[in-house]
Structure 1
Amino acid sequence: MIIEDSLLIQKLKAKDEDAYLVVFKEYYPHLLSFASHYIWDMEAAEDIVQDAFMKLYENVDIVSISIKAYLFRTVRNRCLNYLRDRKVHDTHHQGIVEAMLWSDSLNVVEEKDVYNDKVTLDLLGLIIQKLPQRGRDIVLMRLEKEYKFSQIAAILNISENSAKVQMSRAVSFMRKEFLKYKGIDKEL
């Protein structure tokens, strides 16, 4: 860096616009690269980095040693929050799909939820296609035709309990596939 951190921090605390411009030019490309590789979403990474600079401006009084460390820590924390929030959102949609599959009344989903989320619908379609034929049939009867387990059992000439067991296996498979897609490769 051209200017020593302690002098630059003093200038930032004095709200010197040139000092902010120096910091921005020095760190923005590195922070953007860091954030975009962390969350794999360039638009969100740009927002996170911009927020980090705003936080620096608002909280410059607490920066004492390293501007670089402060900015990278802020970006990292915001990336983690972003990923956490995305997981909550995606888990919400996964939970709705599971509720739809198990509920006796399949009207648990409002129009604004899964049915209007093209990404979730597309992912659900891909995952359903990976199911074994019998599991796929049962899932589609539940989702598309809104059949109860007793109706599915009668149509497929199996016991109601067998339909529920097959549904359980399908839901377990689908849950794992959702987690794989979201980058969370852990056993349930």
Structure 2
Amino acid sequence: MHTTEYDIDIIYKKNQSKMLRLATLLLKDIQAAEDIVGDVFLSLSDCGIDNVINIEGYLITTVRNRCLNRLKSLSYREKVKRCLPIESVPDNVSCNDYSMEAEERMQAVEAFILEQLTPQTQTVMRMRFQENMKYAEIATELNISEAAVYKHLAQGIRKLKQRFNP
């Protein structure tokens, strides 16, 4: 049996809102979320779903994975800027003012990292978040265990949260 356009339309109507909610939650960007959900359904119509047992689970997992891939491809600065709540920006503040505020916050984070974290923790965080290296790659390059990589990252993130998100 081959999936028809009618089948995909029914699946779309049934699952689109859940998929969009998940993508928006992960990406914090409605346009990017809509793009990903649309891409998932486009790929669904191209390849079909004849062998999929749990279509809802398949769709949610696919959306999650595509969102995570998109987030992984973002630069470190973009990741930090995404964490800043847009709804907290007053109406009378221009986008340029907001960008300057985001840049100032980014500089504060970078200064904190340089002043408050050990050189090893700084290196591990840079390798993980700026260079997108995996734990094993960092461990190999620094000649430390993967557990040590995890501990440095956990320590750095904990200190950043304590300072910037008390």
> TM-score when scaled to structure 1?
0.45
Residue 120 (structure 1) shift = 5.9
The equivalent residue for 2:156 is 187
Identity %: 25
The equivalent residue for 2:104 is 125
Task: For 1:90 and 1:186, locate their aligned partners in 2 and report how far apart those are by CA, in whole Å.
Answer: 22
Residue 31 (structure 1) shift = 0.6
Is the partner of 2:52 in helix, strand or coil? coil
Residue 170 (structure 1) shift = 6.3
Residue 29 (structure 1) shift = 0.7
| Alignment size in residue pairs | 109
Matched, 1:172 2:119: no
The equivalent residue for 1:42 is 30
Judge conservation of contact 1:127–1:174 (CA < 8 Å) in 2.
no
Matched, 1:17 2:5: yes
Task: For 1:127 and 1:35, locate their aligned partners in 2 and report how far apart those are by CA, in whole Å.
Answer: 25
Larger Rg: 1
Task: For 1:24 and 1:124, locate their aligned partners in 2 and report how far apart those are by CA, in whole Å.
Answer: 39
Task: For 1:171 and 1:34, locate their aligned partners in 2 and report how far apart those are by CA, in whole Å.
Answer: 31
**Gaps in structure 2 of 5+ consecutive residues:** 80-95, 123-128, 130-152, 158-166
The answer to which structure, 1 or 2, has the higher relative contact order (CA under 8 A, 6+ apart) is 2
The equivalent residue for 2:17 is 29
Task: For 2:32 and 2:100, locate their aligned partners in 1 and report how far apart those are by CA, in whole Å.
Answer: 22
Q: How does 1:14-93 map to 2 (within 5 A)?
A: 16-60=4-48, 63-87=51-75, 90=78
Residue 39 (structure 1) shift = 1.6
Task: Return structure 1 stretches of 4+ with deviation > 3 angstroms.
Answer: 87-91, 117-122, 168-171, 173-176
Code of the residue aligned with 2:45 in structure 1: it is: Y
Task: For 2:115 and 2:98, locate their aligned partners in 1 and report how far apart those are by CA, in whole Å.
Answer: 19
Task: For 2:48 and 2:77, locate their aligned partners in 1 and report how far apart those are by CA, in whole Å.
Answer: 33
The equivalent residue for 1:157 is none
Task: For 1:34 and 1:78, locate their aligned partners in 2 and report how far apart those are by CA, in whole Å.
Answer: 11
